[in-house]
Structure 1
Amino acid sequence: MPRFTHPRLEDVPLDLALHALADSNRLAIVARLAAATGLSCSNTTPCDAPVPKSTLSNHLKTLRAAGLIETTQSGREMINVLRRAEFDRRFPGLLDAILANNEV
C-alpha cells in the first residue's frame, strides 16, 4: 500500500504554495475540490484535468507537496481531499483570493 507524504503546513513556504497554484490544471483541480464540499477526486471520480494519467499524478504530487491536498488509499482507489481549513490557517485568504480572481 503506497504511503503518501503530507507536509506540515507550518513547513510549507509561500513560494511553494504559489507555485502549486500557478498551473491552470492544478488550479482547476483545487477549484473543483473547493467547490465540492465533502467530495473528493480519485481515480474513479477524476479531477477533470484534461491531461494524461501520469501528468495528473505529477500535478497531484505537486499539490500534496504544497500542503493543498491529502491523499489516502481506499482499496485500489486514491482519494484526494482539499486541506482547506489547514491551508487557510497557514495562508489566510490566499485560496479565496486566487479562486475568486481566476476563471478555471
Structure 2
Amino acid sequence: MTIEQTLLADDVRVRIFKALADGTRLQIIRTLKESGVEMNCGEVGEKCEASKSNASYHFRTLREAGLITVRKEAQTKYIHLNVETFDSYLPGFLSSI
C-alpha cells in the first residue's frame, strides 16, 4: 500500500469514527441492523425518537461516512446499512452491537 493509499484509508477511518461517536447514530445503526431490511427515514426516526430535522442530520453524517446508503422513491427516502464499509473498516463491529 502506498503512502497516498494509506492516507486516504485513514481519512475514511476518521470519518467513520466521527460518525459513530454519537449515541443517536449508534442507535440508528443498531435499528437498521436489527431490522435486516431497508427502512424509510421516518420509521428509523420514530424508533430512535429523533425529530425529523435531527434524524436528517444524523442520516447525512452516516451517509457521508459511507455507513448507510439512501434510496429515494417518490417522496420517501429509504436507508440501509452499507455492510461492505463495515466489513472493510470495522470487521465484527455489527455483530458487537
- The bucket for the TM-score relative to the shorter chain is 0.7 to 0.9
Instruction: Name the structure 1 match of 2:87.
Output: 88
RMSD between aligned residues: 2.0
> TM-score under structure 1 normalisation?
0.72
**How far 1:89 sits from its partner (Å)?**
2.2
2:79 and 2:42 map into 1 onto residues whose CA distance is: 11
1:46 aligns with 2:44: yes
Contact 1:72 1:79 in 2 (8 A): yes
**How far 1:44 sits from its partner (Å)?**
4.5
> TM-score under structure 2 normalisation?
0.76
Contact 1:70 1:80 in 2 (8 A): yes
2:67 and 2:80 map into 1 onto residues whose CA distance is: 8
Which one scores higher on RCO, CA 8 angstroms, separation ≥ 6? 1
Between the two proteins, what is the percent identity of the paired residues?
Answer: 30
Instruction: Name the structure 2 match of 1:61.
Output: 60
Instruction: Name the structure 1 match of 2:6.
Output: none
* Paired residue total: 88
Instruction: Name the structure 1 match of 2:23.
Output: 24
1:8-50 deviation digits (Å, cap 9, x = unpaired): xx6852121111111111100100111111x122144334221
Which structure has the highest helix share of the two? 2
- 17-26 vs 55-64, which moves further: 17-26
Contact 2:42 2:52 in 1 (8 A): no
**How far 1:74 sits from its partner (Å)?**
0.8
Gaps spanning 5+ residues in structure 1: where? 1-9, 100-104
Contact 2:19 2:65 in 1 (8 A): yes
- Residues 53, 44 of structure 1: alpha-carbon distance in 2 compared, 3 angstrom cutoff: closer
Contact 2:70 2:77 in 1 (8 A): yes
Gaps spanning 5+ residues in structure 2: where? 1-8
